[in-house]
Structure formats: structure tokens, C-alpha cells
Structure 1
Amino acid sequence: MRDAYSFDEFYRSTSTRLMRYGYAIVGDLAEAQDLVQEAYTRAWQRWRTVADHPSPESWVRLVVTRLAVDRWRRLGRWQAALLRSGPPEPVRPPNEDTVLVVAALRRLPAAQRQALALHYLFDLPIAEIALETGVAVGTVKSWLSRGRAGLAEALAGTPAGGAREGDDDE
């Protein structure tokens, strides 16, 4: 446990400085937090080696710097791709039917939603769904049946599907 204790002490004594350094390097607090966290994670994974380094803090600082450079390179490639291809088409808002179906799906248990999505969106046969979810074929059939019934019931109560049972027009 001495390793964990020494790393904790190292972290407590250096994290504020390294966070300031990361922020100064990238200019974005959230990105700096991600970079510093990743650098400390790498230091922890190699703590026996890093602890023997003449300056463990400078080792972590170097990792933060390299991660920031990698980030800038990725952003540069992304910008170059955007310049070549132009910005992506704007995403259209979902139509009313999509909103109604998603709302109806959210009312179903997670297993039924998963089975319906795998079967109807990914065109997976029942046997593959059973294999992927780790359940029996009969269970998948039950999920699909109950999921379809639940969707039908939920959609029947929407304006597109008619009035709910017990609703009055008065």
C-alpha cells in the first residue's frame, strides 16, 4: 500500500499546479481537466517507475503537454477535413411520428426496448439477439411480443393513434 499512499501524496501536492498548467496550455477548463486526469492515470499505471524519476511532476507535465499536442493535431486534421468537405448538413428536427415513437419506447422496460431496437433497427434475427443479450430465444420472443403490444398501447393514446380509452371530447 506504500505505492498508493505515495501516489496520493504526490497527487495532493501537485494537482493544483498541474491543473493550472493544463489550463494555461489548452485554454479550456474541461479539456485541461481531461488532460490532467489522463496524465495522472498514466502516472498511476507506471507509478513504480515514475516515482523513481528525478522529477515525477515534470514527467506528468510532459504527459499533459504531449496530450495537448495530440489534441491540437486532431483538431487540425478535423479542420482540414471540414475545409475539404465543408460543414455537415444541418440535422433536421425529428418529425412528429419519431417523437411519438421515441416517447412510447421510453415507456417500455429496457429489455423490450433493446430487443425491438436490435430486431427492427439492426435487422437481427431472434437467435442473434438471444446470443447478444445472453437469454433464451423464447425470452427474446416474449420481449418482442410484449414490446410490440406496449408500443401499440402507448401509441393508441396519442393524437395520431386516437383518443385514450376513457377520454371524453366534452
Structure 2
Amino acid sequence: MTDSQGQTPDTRRDFERFYAASVKRLVTVVYAVTGDLGEAEDAVQEAYARAWPRWEQLVAEGDPTPWVRTVALRLAVSSWRRTRNRVRAHFRHGPPPDLPGLAPDHVALVAALRHLNPEQRRAVVLHHLLDLPVEEVARQTGSTSTAVRSRLMRARRVLSAHLTDSPDTPTAGAGRPATAAQPRQEVLPHE
């Protein structure tokens, strides 16, 4: 028996399993790129809605995850471009203070990612958060490996400047990431 879109109950169950297993990570990735949780959720839901009618074809071609991720990221970027002024105002005011369940490090990372241009942000998310090799990032973004490496290098510099220790610590503003703090060396008196 098939539904109104010609899908069988097994196909529906497979899609539902895929959705349950991948939606949280995909929202996280798109949120890291956009900096807007609502926009990320909308783009991800639309990507799954677009995947459903062609689900059997996507599965037949292999893992549907890259296709859904690419569609979600493109939808998010398109939405971001259409609403640039609204997003800029949101970025000026920072993340909402009531983000549920986000660790301070996560909020700091998302805030730092906002200082990157869209190409750098996408490269960082795909390479560092999804652990994709540079060549795969280049393929998914339609860039060369050299361009991706350059974006990653520039992005690391920007992120390093924004992921520093708090202002009340001696290393604040030194451009060194908080996670890269060096241990103190103690000077021992001679006996």
C-alpha cells in the first residue's frame, strides 16, 4: 500500500528513522553557520520536506545526509541574504539570553562564528564541526581546495581573536584562544 505521494510504509519508516537520527546534528550545523536557531530549524525542516518526495532516489544514490545538509545550508544562506538587515540587527544585539541548554562555550563559539564571512563560516562548520576533509568541503561548496584552506586559515585568525580569555585574566586580548592557555612555569630558588 502506498500513500498519496506513492511512498510505502517501509519507505516512511526509513525516512522517519533517518530524520530522528540526523535532525539534531543538522540543526546544530546550520545554526553554527547562520547564528539564528529559528532560521536553522526552518531551513532544516524545509530540506527534509524537499527530501521526502525524492527519498527513494536519494537512498538509491547512497547516503542522503550530504544532500539534505547541502539543501539546508543553501536555504539558510538564501534566507540570510534576503533578510540581511534583520540579521545584522540581531547580530548587533548578540544571542538571546535564554537559549535553552547551550553551554557557555557553545554560545561563545556561535558568537565568534558571526564574525566570519559566510564562506569562511561554512568552511569552518563543514571542516571542523563535521570533520569533513578539505577536498570534500571544496566539493560541497563549489570551491578549490586551495580556496578552502585559505578560508580556514583566515577564519582561524578571526576566531582566535574572539575566543580569548575573559577581560579579568592576564591573557585577555592577547589573541590566544582560551583553550590554548599555556601552563605557568614556576621559578624555584636555588638551594
TM-score, structure 1 normalization: 0.43
Higher-Rg member (1/2) = 1
Q: TM-score, normalised by structure 2?
A: 0.38
Which structure has greater helix proportion?
1
